[in-house]
Amino acid sequence: MPRYALQVEYHGAPFAGWQRQADQPSVQGAIEAALAKLEPRAHTIAAAGRTDAGVHATHQVAHCDMEREWDPFRLSEALNYHLKPQPIAIVKAARVADDWHARFSANERRYLFRLVVRRAPLVHEGGLVWQVKNPLDGAAMQEGANRLLGRHDFTTFRSSICQADSPVRTLDELRVEEIERPDAQEFRFHVRARSFLHNQVRSFVGTLERVGAGSWTPDDVTEALEAKERSACGPVCPPEGLYLAGVGYEDDPFV
């Protein structure tokens, strides 16, 4: 059965997350239903990462197995037709080797988190960013972020229901970028690692927001990391500002 890689973009608000659910809408379920319109049978797709409810993606990657050969462009166009009007798009499709796997062949995941500081309600970005009302110190947040770089036991920054075998991960990048805009203060957190723990990025951002607000110091971030206790974590921020922004492979199937 020929295998295809899919680059997927979606707005996470209407979904209970990526993973198929029996009684709730999911991104995986929607794409599998669209595939069944093309080849009527049960389909199971695999993704590079399982995003939680409300989390978005600009560059999720999944793979599917088809019974017949498809032109990749025609496959993406047909899937987009059957996915309407759901906020999911197949940006690209590519033929890959039969042993290529969206999850296990990946060597890097990249996330983006958008935080906007503004007193007035956000009319056009509601549900797409985390809004807070009081100014934040970007330099302090970056100093706190630097304490998390490298290989650590991230028990403090993972969900209590995380199913990963080990809390040890290597964090390659946690960069805080301030965006100039006339109506608000915006910070974008760029996070990169081979793999992540459940709620790890949202735990990072929620903690760093406390540093930016002055409630925590960068030294407090170090102490929280070294505590290796979930109770030492700062608040976990809401999901709507989080985006799966990229997945890396040794040979990118979409290039």
Catalytic residues: 52
d(CA 193, CA 174): 9
Query: Within its chain, how far is the Cα of 124 from the centroid?
Result: 21
Query: Within its chain, how far is the Cα of 98 from the centroid?
Result: 26
CB 223 within 8 A of CB 234: no
Q: Are strands 56-65 and 3-10 parallel, antiparallel or unpaired?
A: antiparallel
CB 109 within 8 A of CB 244: yes
Token duo for residue 83? 């996915």
Dihedral sign for Cα 243, 93, 255, 195, please. positive
Q: Are strands 3-10 and 168-179 parallel, antiparallel or unpaired?
A: unpaired
List C-alpha distances in Å: 139 to 101, 125, 217, 236. Answer: 39, 25, 11, 21
Q: Residues with Cβ < 8 Å from 200, sequence gap 6 or more?
A: 154, 157, 158, 169
Task: Return the bridge partners of 38, or none.
Answer: none
CB 30 within 8 A of CB 86: yes
